[in-house]
Structure 1
Amino acid sequence: MNKFFILVLLPFVLPGMAQAQKFGYVDMAFITSKMPEYQKAKAEMNQFSEKWAKEIQDKFAEIDRLQRAFMAEEILLTDDLKRKRQSEIKEKEIEAREYNSRVFGMDGMVFEKKKELMKPILERVQRAVDKVCAQRRLNFLFDKSSDAVLIYTDPRHDYTEYVMEELGIDLKAAVAQPVNDPSKQSSTTKKPK
């Protein structure tokens, strides 16, 4: 009897609970694209990535040079020297692959450096988001630019400007500057009520 009573009341209680929730969204890609410290960290990250990629490229170029030299001299080498050279080349290949994995693999140097550079910036953005959510009494705030699929977004629920305002980003200058990816642009003409 008790279960029946709950099942009967459930359709009446759930809609009221759902209506009590307040939702909104922001465009984090747009916000971060207007943050000078984010752009600086991104440029620094690119420099590290390029440097490490060049080191790896140099390692593989050296391996290629050793292989070509071995092939050119192979006829003149004794069996012991051939094995020794092949072993050296194989060791260099293993070393280069391991270094590549340490740099660009899961939790590699690139990942760690990016985390180190972006952490203070993303923490600052998160504090601004937390403050806006508390001020606007939002229960949920989605990132329009993330992998979450938002098929439709009502501009009245766009809190991007509030977060940018909280971060001290000049809204008029930010709107006037073009965003690199037009598909990630936010409609920043109306603030939610």
Structure 2
Amino acid sequence: MKKFLILLVLSSASISSGWAQKFGYTDMEYITSKMPDYQLAQTEMKKFSEKWAKEIQDKYGEIDRMQRTYMAEEVLLTEELKRKRQNEIKEKELEAREYNSKIFGMEGLLFQKKKELMKPVMEKVQRAVTKVCAQRRLDMLFDKSSESGLIYTNPKHDYSDYVIEELGIDLKPAKNALPKEKIGVVDTNPTTPPVTSPKQKSTTSKLK
């Protein structure tokens, strides 16, 4: 429904403004399921996940053994020894929880490993998407299997600089600052003129 509404709004905007845009959609789940590189990365991910899960399981197994041993020997222990054994168990529990968070928590080792393994695969997919969109002269491409929706947009339709200028934000780089390259998909359609921001227009008129 969310993607349908986006398409409806974009279609209405293109009709009202008098210019036509070409849309398309794809299914990334279907595409990646056919990619050997993706399947290999998934297999590697599973190995790391199972390895780390086993390590955490072993830690909690040790804690369980310590608790059972303590309960069996509790009546024979002095108060000082009881406190010592209880503290040892608590320390082991804390260590296990911290390790579990380190591996499976947000931005944990599993998350980082997934990014590392999937990055070359997704870059390969993105290059293919960009090439297909250029060849088919698509302005926007949607992924029907993803909530994020858009996976490609023609940069000539990016009006971010206009909005920033309307907000009164100066885009001029500070003195002695290194120039930043604008990251994005290059428009491979030479017949389509690029959008010129108001600042570029004023600069051009002065030079004339």
Residue 68, structure 1, aligned to residue 62, structure 2: no
The Cα RMSD (Å) is 1.8
**Equivalent residue for 1:55?**
55
**Equivalent residue for 2:125?**
125
**Equivalent residue for 1:179?**
none
**Equivalent residue for 1:92?**
92
TM-score (norm 2): 0.63
Note the C-alpha offset of 1:139. 1.3
Higher relative contact order (CA 8 A, sep 6+): 1
Q: Which runs of 5+ in 1 are unaligned?
A: 1-11, 150-193
Query: What secondary structure is seen at the aligned counterpart in 2 of 1:20?
Result: coil
| Rounded Cα–Cα distance in structure 1 between residues aligned with 2:59 and 2:18 | 58
| Rounded Cα–Cα distance in structure 1 between residues aligned with 2:147 and 2:40 | 24
Q: Which runs of 5+ in 2 are unaligned?
A: 1-11, 150-208
For each residue in 1:88-145, what CA deviation from the matched residue of structure 2 results, as whole angstroms up to 9, or x when unmatched? 1000000000000000000001100000000000000001101111111111111111
Percent of paired sites with the same residue: 70
Identify, as 1 or 2, the structure richer in helix.
Answer: 1
Note the C-alpha offset of 1:61. 0.6
| Rounded Cα–Cα distance in structure 2 between residues aligned with 1:13 and 1:91 | 61
**Pair 1:84–1:105, CA change in 2 (3 A):** same
**Equivalent residue for 1:172?**
none
How does 1:36-51 map onto structure 2 within 5 Å? 36-51=36-51
Q: 4+ runs of 1 displaced by more than 4 Å?
A: none
**Equivalent residue for 1:144?**
144
How does 1:1-193 map onto structure 2 within 5 Å? 15-17=15-17, 20-147=20-147
The answer to whether the 8 A contact 2:14-2:20 is kept is no
